[in-house]
Amino acid sequence: EDQQHLEHRKDLQFPSGGTVRRCRVLQWDSEEPVPRAELLSRVAGVRGLLCLLSDRIDREVLDAAGPDLKVISTMSVGFDHLALDEIKKRGIRVGYTPDVLTDATAELSVALLLSACRRLPEAAEQVRSGGWTTWKPLWMCGYGLSDSTVGIIGLGRIGQAVARRLKPFGVRKFLYTGSGPKPETAAEFGAEFVPLTRLAEESDFVVVTCALTPATQGMCNKDFFSRMKKTSVFVNTSRGTVVNQEDLYNALAQGQIAAAGLDVTTPEPLPTDHPLLSLKNCVILPHIGSATYATRNTMAVLAANNLLAGLRGEPMPHELKL
Q: Which residues bind ligand GLV (CB under 6 A)?
A: 53, 76-78, 101, 289-290
Tell me whether residue 72 or residue 228 sits nearer to ligand GLV (CB atom): 72
Kindly give the interhelix angle for 157-166 and 102-117, rounded to the nearest 10 degrees: 50
Contacts of 10 (CB under 8 A, 6+ apart): 24, 25, 26, 27
* Contact between 50 and 303 (Cβ < 8 Å): yes
Specify the 3-state DSSP secondary structure of 25. strand
Q: Which C-beta is closer to ligand GLV: that of 15 or that of 137? A: 137
The residue among 53 and 114 lying less far from ligand GLV, judged by its C-beta, is: 53
Q: CA nearest 235: which of 213, 263, 202, 258? A: 263
Q: Tell me the closest approach of the beta carbon of residue 37 to ligand GLV, in angstroms.
A: 25
Residue nearest to ligand GLV (CB): 78
Q: Give me the residues paired with residue 19 across strands.
A: 16
Output the smallest distance, CB 211 to ligand GLV, in A.
Answer: 9
Rg (CA), the chain: 22
Tell me the closest approach of the beta carbon of residue 245 to ligand GLV, in angstroms. 17
Q: Which is nearer to ligand GLV, 101 or 145 (CB)?
A: 101
5 flagged as catalytic: no
Please, what is the minimum distance in Å from the beta carbon of residue 207 to ligand GLV?
15
Q: Which of 8, 81, 287, 318 is catalytic?
A: 287
Cis status, amide bond into 267, omega within 30 of 0: yes
**Catalytic annotation, residues:** 287
